[in-house]
Amino acid sequence: MLKALRCARLVDVEAGRVLDGATVLVDGERVAAVLTEGEPVPEGAEVLDLGDAALAPGLVDLHTHLAGVAACGDIVQELKLSAARQALAGVRNARDTVLAGFTTVRDVGTLRAFVDVALRDAVADGTVIGPRMAVAGAYVTVSTGGGMLTGLAHDIELPREFRFGVVRTVDDVRERVREILHGGADLIKLIATGAVMTAGTVPGAPELTEEQMRAAVREASWYGAHVAAHAHGAEGVKMAVRAGVRSVEHACYLDDEGIELMLEHGTYLSADIWWADWIRETGAAAGWDAEMLRKNDETAEAQREAFARAVKAGVRIGFGSDAGGFPHGLQARQLATMVEYGMTPLAALRAATLTGAECMGWEAEVGSVAPGKYADLVAVRGPFQVESFTEVAFVMKNGAVLKNELS
């Protein structure tokens, strides 16, 4: 049956404007038409009156970790949970994410390989309620690098699923990329530098070489897959961009040369600039490792300053939250932080919708409210303001209403 969603206002992220009194027609899983104020609704359509609400495209998060239980305070926890337990935790995480309005996500890696593939497939076949997912399968990382479980005794041998993506040579990279994609992943996640949340690693230090990353991009291209690079340090960012990655994640120490390279190559930036506040507020009480808390303090303001410069320069900005280190469903809090550091409210929402879809290569299907695209829609009460997206009142995915507190 044809559905007609009436709303006081519709956020058009493509045109960068808010339309008053629009009606969105939904036919099955897709948007059929957008009616302007005063245009008649087709006879027989089921009308959903959302009242004084702002309707927007379903949100897109480019950097999530849905599979598993957050273990930043106790990394050994990863070894205390079975793959089945991690997958079941992912069921809850996926539900919380989509009910918060994020109808599409890029899940950028798990320490235990391919748990994310199983979760994605369960969502896709309707077994689990959750967002549309593109998944990375496993991290491509150096031994003892940012994508590894570190801090364990030297004589402990990790199971293969925890070191599936470890590489030493360029040929190793090609092999791991093939194995990860053959294992069901949609994209490749490189760990180009050390990590804030990995014991013993230095966020600013390069780990993968430019040659290795170039090999990963080339190998993935044969399969039509994009490559995302975790990179905090300035040199790691530049090496990743020159290698041809689709997006850089975090970019805490991004410098002006790196910004120029990102503009030249059209590289997307996915920076988790809100999460540091969560760590500062809750990390110590939750028993997080002192090294991680220190590195968070050292990188947080540098990342935000770099983000502001990237926005001003015109770098392609997507929305990436790093949900999983903090509870799923809270990531929309980052929208206000993006505005605080240089984006307009409409630009921030575009980053979390259409630009994210473009980064994923899914802009023909999601990211805006337009005829032919999936009917992924969210609504918030009252006028359009990014702060309201922390309390989404209506969620539709694929034309099915998952949450409605408005009518």
Average the pLDDT over each of 41-50, 246-255, 281-290 and give the range with the smallest value.
Answer: 281-290
**Sheet with 400-404: strands ordered across:** 17-20, 9-12, 53-57, 377-381, 394-397, 400-404
Range of weakest confidence among 52-56, 234-238, 244-248, 325-329: 325-329
User: Would you say residue 72 has pLDDT above 70?
Assistant: no
Does residue 70 have a pLDDT over 70? no
What is the model's pLDDT at position 75?
Answer: 65
Q: What is the average per-residue pLDDT within 310-325?
A: 96
State the pLDDT at residue 156.
84
Mean pLDDT of 113-137: 97
pLDDT attached to residue 158: 84
CB-based contacts of 366: which residues, under 8 Å, 6+ apart? 57, 58, 60, 103, 104, 132, 357, 373, 374, 376
Lowest mean pLDDT among 52-56, 108-112, 145-149: 145-149
Taking residues 15-30, report their average pLDDT.
97
Q: Which of 81-85, 87-91, 147-151 has the lowest mean pLDDT?
A: 147-151
The burial of 309, by beta-carbon neighbours within 10 Å (0-12 exposed, 13-18 middle, 19 or more buried), is given as middle
- Indicate whether 12 pLDDT > 80: yes
Identify the DSSP state of 258: H
Helix locations, 351-406, DSSP H? 356-360
Distance (Å) of CA 74 to CA 64, 71, 152, 198, 199: 19, 5, 12, 11, 11
As given in the structure block, the two tokens for residue 361 are 């290569």
Q: Which of 33-47, 245-259, 367-381 has the lowest mean pLDDT?
A: 33-47
For residue 281 the two structure tokens come to: 């507020």
| Average confidence (pLDDT) over 16-27 | 97
Question: Partners of 249 in the beta sheet?
Answer: 230, 270
How confident is the prediction for the chain on average, in pLDDT?
A: 94
- At 79, the pLDDT band (50, 70, 90 cuts) reads confident
Digit-coded pLDDT (tens) for 341-353: 999 999 999 999 9
pTM, full prediction: 0.97
Q: How far is CA 189 from the centre of its chain?
A: 12
Q: How confident is the model at residue 80 (pLDDT cuts 50, 70, 90)?
A: confident
Q: How many residues would you count in the chain?
A: 407
Q: What is the per-residue pLDDT for 358?
A: 98
The two structure tokens encoding residue 51: 């009242």
pLDDT tens digits along 148-199? 888 788 888 888 888 999 999 999 999 999 999 999 999 999 999 998 888 8
The rounded percent of the chain whose pLDDT value lies above 70 is 98
Confidence of residue 71 (pLDDT cuts 50, 70, 90): low
Q: Which of 56-70, 126-140, 249-263 has the lowest mean pLDDT?
A: 56-70
pLDDT of 74 > 70? The answer is: no
For 201, the token pair is 């690693």
The predicted-structure confidence for 200-224, as pLDDT tens digits, reads as follows 889 999 999 999 999 999 999 999 9
